[in-house]
Amino acid sequence: MAEARAAAENSVEEYVVQMKGITKVYPNGIAANQDVDLFVKKGEIHALMGENGAGKSTLMKMLFGLEQPTSGEIIINGEKVNLTSPTVAISKGIGMVHQHFMLVPSLTVAENMVLGIVPKKSGIFIDYKKAVEITKEYSQRFNLHVEPDAKVMDIPVGMKQKVEILKALVRGAKILILDEPTAVLTTQETTELFKELIHLKEQGYTIIFISHKLNEIMEITDRLTILRGGKSMGVHNTRDVTKEEISRLMVGRDVVLSVQKDVAKPTDTVLKVRDMEYVNEWGKKMLDKVSFSVRKGEILGIAGVEGNGQKELVDMLFNLNTPNAGTATVNGENILGLPQRKIREKGVSLVPEDRMVFGIAGDGTIEENLISDRCGSKDLNRGPLFNMNAIHDSCKKLIEDYLILCKSGKQKVKMLSGGNIQKVVVAREFSNDPVLIIADQPTRGIDVGATEFIRKKLVELSRSGIAVLLISADLSEVMELSDSLIVMYGGKIAAYFEDTRELNDEIMGEYMLGLKRQPEEQVRRVCHE
């Protein structure tokens, strides 16, 4: 990085964006960026790459004035700037196209274009004709086709994105930040977008392109900066690096945690998922003929970059969403479409990805949260009323067994630390005699102690004959814990590894980023038929 910095100072004019030594520490102590450099040349398409949580979005939020760096400086066109708000960033010629569109659905395209900078006639009235003219003018100049008079709610996603790009251009943006622009697009729309971006580049605009899709990066970017764990892994010319090198820089492990575990001796199939398909509300196929089985006594891991269908899969299994096709059974009985209580009665436990929304009720006490799945049981009730002593005793035991750090069981759950909140969730989900545990990102964002505890528990439970499905974006976790492992990419199972012990990051990275895909027969082996 020192070289990059020196090189930058030698030819300052060359760079339109210089972010030097950017560090961002959030009030809760998480360092999202540590001494990151980003140098973007005028008129290039510069990729900002990295896995989820690598710090890409934080870095871009600082460039767009949504957040301010803890230390470091930002220089735009040779001028040191203090980007305190998006308005300031816009005035410096920076525009951002957010992943979630910032459009008003009931307004027309033209109205959205001029929102905040409305052309007026006689001082107060909207000059709608002028707005349409402006829209048409920019649309033609940049070859971005939109329909000025259509309401935003009636136009397809691809056009909405064009409106967003045009909105930034109308406001005078010369530097465009695109936050995972292809995430919501179909293949054709993506191809079209790339043509338009290259067209913009030819007219001297600079584009910062956030993505973790290797093929796209190779196709349209000139240079790339890779972030991993909040740190920069350097800047490269796209044509000088191979996909394999990029994947190694992006994916990769810093710490290897070792969990002791015996070799699994899996027996009968518990969870059986066959040919599951799901098309989301934007018409994108998120699950494509997903089939696998989880057996008693094993941990099956699902690895993959987020957004490749893992979340949708869990939603289907716990009836938070409905698949378009496919089946899912637990011990031979259907679980699709059942109320959550019925699913739980069949012995399925879920440690949800979003613990604050689906895992706990923050204003409830620890005890209330611990019994929330079993509050109707005979042991905890006496006639129509709760048996408070029984509840207290059973919760006390859980709090002790799961090392939940709290003043008492009467404390509100939201007052606990993240790790202890997760322990409350885990204590409930692991103690209800499950036959199958679905653990979705079970250790995300929690401290090392709690992480280790939860991992050990998962191994212990699986060895006692419970089937465990582990979904994790944390590569070391999924590789260390799982007995066998599948990789999801683009809604499909891209690979199945029967024994995780022979795996390394490099192989994983290639499958996770879609460079490789195992043949159908090999993947099909995860069905154990």
Among 31, 107, 150, 336, binds another protein (CB under 8 A): 107
CB of 104 to another protein, least distance (A): 4
The span of 120-128, 256-264, 309-317, 347-355 binding another protein (CB under 8 A) equals 120-128
Residue 125 lies near another protein (rule: CB under 8 A): yes
Residue 335 lies near another protein (rule: CB under 8 A): no
The span of 111-119, 301-309, 311-319, 332-340 binding another protein (CB under 8 A) equals 111-119
Residue 111 lies near another protein (rule: CB under 8 A): yes
Residue 415 lies near another protein (rule: CB under 8 A): no
- Whole-number Å distance between alpha carbons of 437 and 373: 14
Compute how many residues bind another protein; rule: CB under 8 A: 25
Structure tokens at 259: 């969990």
- Whole-number Å distance between alpha carbons of 81 and 92: 9
Structure tokens at 482: 């799982």
With b for 16 or more beta-carbon neighbours within 10 A and e for fewer, the 399-438 pattern comes to beebebebeebeebbeebeebbbbbbbbbbbbbbebbbbb
Nearest partner of 50 among 310, 216, 247, judged by Cα: 247
Residue 507 lies near another protein (rule: CB under 8 A): no
Per CB under 8 A, contacts with another protein among 86-105 are 86-87, 90, 98, 101-105
SS3 state at 127: coil
CB of 86 to another protein, least distance (A): 6
Residue 171 lies near another protein (rule: CB under 8 A): yes
Nearest partner of 318 among 440, 219, 475, judged by Cα: 440
CB of 232 to another protein, least distance (A): 28
Q: What is the DSSP string of 374-431?
A: TTTSGGGEETTEE-HHHHHHHHHHHHHHTT---S-TTSBGGGS-HHHHHHHHHHHHHS
Q: Judged by CB, which is closer to another protein: 27, or 283?
A: 283
Q: Judged by CB, which is closer to another protein: 12, or 117?
A: 117
Residue 106 lies near another protein (rule: CB under 8 A): yes
Residue 390 lies near another protein (rule: CB under 8 A): no
- Whole-number Å distance between alpha carbons of 7 and 40: 12
CB of 32 to another protein, least distance (A): 21
The residues that bridge with 76 in the sheet, in sequence order, are 17, 79
Q: Judged by CB, which is closer to another protein: 86, or 418?
A: 86
Which residue is it, tokens 């992943």? Answer: 99
CB of 88 to another protein, least distance (A): 10
Q: H helices within 415-465, ranges in order?
A: 418-430, 448-463
76 in Cβ contact with 94 (< 8 Å): yes
- Chain contacts with another protein (rule: CB under 8 A): 86-87, 90, 98, 101-107, 111-112, 115-118, 120, 124-126, 156, 167, 171, 283
